[in-house]
Amino acid sequence: MSWNISVIGIPEKVEQVIEDATVEFTGDSLAEYQAAKPHLLGLIHENFDNSEPPTPARLVLHLEASGSGWSKGGKDMGRSLTVKLERWYSRIAV
């Protein structure tokens, strides 16, 4: 099965979307997403400092991620994960 997610926002909001996205998936897609979720959060935690002071131009992330897996006879045979994570500095209008 497969899943995908795309989000643009400040790091803490991107993390929140990653956490909340599990409601979008079911069955095998949910299992695949839950297996990938710690890795997605880890990329943000390890690479972007969420304590940056507010300025007119804030750090904005653009995350696109997708994954898939396959099984045979109920046994996991393999998984793949593709992630694109871009850093932007931009003014945010909300």
Span 17-68, pLDDT tens digits: 999 998 888 888 888 899 999 999 999 988 876 565 556 567 889 999 999 8
What SS3 state is found at 21? Answer: helix
Sign of CA dihedral 7, 8, 9, 12: positive
**In contact, 85 and 15? CB cutoff 8 Å:** no
Say if residue 80's pLDDT is above 70: yes
Q: How sure is the predictor about 83, in pLDDT bands with cuts at 50, 70 and 90?
A: very high
Q: Which residues contact 49 (CB under 8 A, 6 or more apart)?
A: none
Q: Residue 69 gets which letter from DSSP? A: E
